[in-house]
Amino acid sequence: MLEIAILLFLIVLMVSWFIYIFCKRVIYKLNKRVLPRNLAIVKNGPYMAKFEELTVEEIRQKLILPMFMILGYNTYDMREFQSFIGRADFLPDYVVKKWDHSKLAKNALSVKYIPFKEDAVDYSNNTYDEKYGAKLSVLMDKLYFKSEYYVLTNGCIYLFFNKNTNPDSRRFEFAFNLKSYSKQDTAWLAYYTKQYLFLELSDVYRA
């Protein structure tokens, strides 16, 4: 009887895994198709055109928040998109959280605005020059950094650092430039959408 129960459990687990992979793939393909159209609205909008003239608050409200809305995050939900602006410098400006039945399930993204220039980003080596702001070793200190990714942005360029990154290497996983991006860039960006990052095997198993 125990062997049958174990076998049934393994079958359910395997089926759930295949459904999970299938759902992830479908979500990715849908987001990959929709993102270019939505990104173009911000890229070709009035605020991107006068980027150099914007205040910090305007950059946050007119570029950063719309960018994460495009990625599917509810920036109006303080539980999902929690703001830490005005607190300690080593804290992120925002932490994107997944909640499951009123329980915190995951910190998906930590987001920090830093007014760095484009010359701080080495696209060929995927490295970031820290001369414009706080060091990654401070921002990604495990004492208070609990997210899957850390996103540094100046409102135009978005650098995604994986939680397993060695901060001293200053190597980012992916960079997205709102002013200039390719089809391949939007394809990579689809991996950081809410629907893709939030879906986990446990969600499928429970369903």
**Largest Cα–Cα distance of the chain, in whole Å?**
71
pLDDT, tens digit (0-9, with 9 covering 90-100), for 135-158: 889 999 988 888 999 999 999 999
Distance CA 57, CA 142 (A): 28
Cα separation values, 189 from 46, 78, 167, Å: 23, 24, 22
Whether the pLDDT of residue 73 is over 80: the answer is yes
pLDDT value of residue 54: 96
Q: Identify the residue whose tokens are 């200053």.
A: 170
pLDDT value of residue 204: 57
Residue 92 tokens, joined: 């992120």
pLDDT value of residue 65: 97
Q: What is the pTM of this model?
A: 0.88
Position 9 confidence tier, pLDDT thresholds 50, 70, 90: low
pLDDT value of residue 107: 81
Torsion angles phi and psi, residue 166, rounded to 5: -80, 110
Neighbouring residues of 78: CB distance < 8 A, sequence distance ≥ 6: none
Distance CA 162, CA 44 (A): 29
Distance CA 3, CA 1 (A): 5
The C-alpha angle 19, 24, 28, rounded to 5 degrees, equals 150
